[in-house]
Amino acid sequence: MRILVAMEVHEEHVRWIEEAAQGHEVVYWPVKGLVSASVSEEELAKADVIIGNVVPAQLRHARRLRWLQLSSAGADAYCKDGVMPAGAALTNATGAFGLAIAEHMTALVFAMMKKLYRYYDNQKNADWHDEGQVESVYGKTVLVIGFGDLGRQFGKRMKAMGAHVVGMRRRSGDVPTEADEMGTMDKLDEYLAKADIVASCLPNTAETYHLYTKERFDAMKKGAYFINVGRGSNVVQDDLCAAVRSGHLAGAAVDVTEPEPLPADSPMWHTPGLYVTPHVSGGYHLQATHDNIVRIAAANLRHFLAGEALENVVDFATGYKK
């Protein structure tokens, strides 16, 4: 069996993969960063297993492929008709990114609520100026839309600081320890009206495309904060800018945009109270994330070679982990 590793790996990562491979041939394609690798047709044609993200259109050359382990949580590009070879399994790296992204989200919440952005602007102008009252997470209602790994990790942190955490999922179920209550997406507008902080962790699917419109922002509580770490396609960006400019939202912070990179002439760059980071909350920016991705891949490789059920199997119909 030939295993193609199409992701950046360090010396320790190679050892983990080789141990899991149990003597099977492993080939490493040079990749830098968490990107979709462009791999030669020759290598793809020989691969039985691929670990890492390959340019989706190139998978037509991977005729022997039995299983693709993504190095990302997002799988939508691989779920389109005709991308994956017939019969090949698809798994993602759900569970690797929660720590890094939840901490990034927490930082955004405090930067806005404690007016740290304003004070930094004042510092650049040598302006010793009191910006007035700030807010606390304690006692606030935090609505986390998309309560998978990212949402749960963020909810855990907010709950620990005294917030009332509401998780939103597509289907009803038990209330996990990271939340105080759970809601379903069919009642989204009701929950938006109650939330002081709205945090979106949704993937890119037909159901989530432009979910956040003017009507949705209007449904939010006046003075609420909005955070998006899911996908830029979830948001109608002009409507978000308008909601912040009008003062209806106290602030907004996004780590994802549509498109990426965000064009220089986008009003997102220049809307006071709206803060943009260039999709950096995840990736390999935190070493623990990179390590977790490889650990997930190595564990699944062991399962695959033993004929056991894989973890993080992607549902092609939804793009979510099953």
In degrees, rounded to 5, the angle at the alpha carbon of residue 173 between the alpha carbons of residues 167 and 175 is 50
Annotated catalytic residue 279: yes
Q: 5: part of which helix (H) or strand (E)?
A: strand 2-5
Indicate which residue of 66, 164, 245, 279 is catalytic: 279
Indicate which residue of 61, 216, 231, 290 is catalytic: 231
In degrees, rounded to 5, the angle at the alpha carbon of residue 226 between the alpha carbons of residues 220 and 232 is 115
Q: How far apart are CA 239 and CA 14, in angstroms?
A: 46
Neighbours of 179 (CB within 10 A): 24
Question: CB–CB of 216/187 below 8 Å?
Answer: no
CA distances from 311 to 24, 72, 169, 220, 265 (A): 21, 14, 20, 37, 42
Which is nearest to 54 in space by CA: 65, 307, 22? 65
Annotated catalytic residue 260: yes
The region, left, alpha or beta by phi > 0 then psi within -120 to 50, assigned to residue 87 is left
Annotated catalytic residue 60: no
Indicate which residue of 19, 25, 131, 260 is catalytic: 260
Residues labelled catalytic: 231, 260, 279
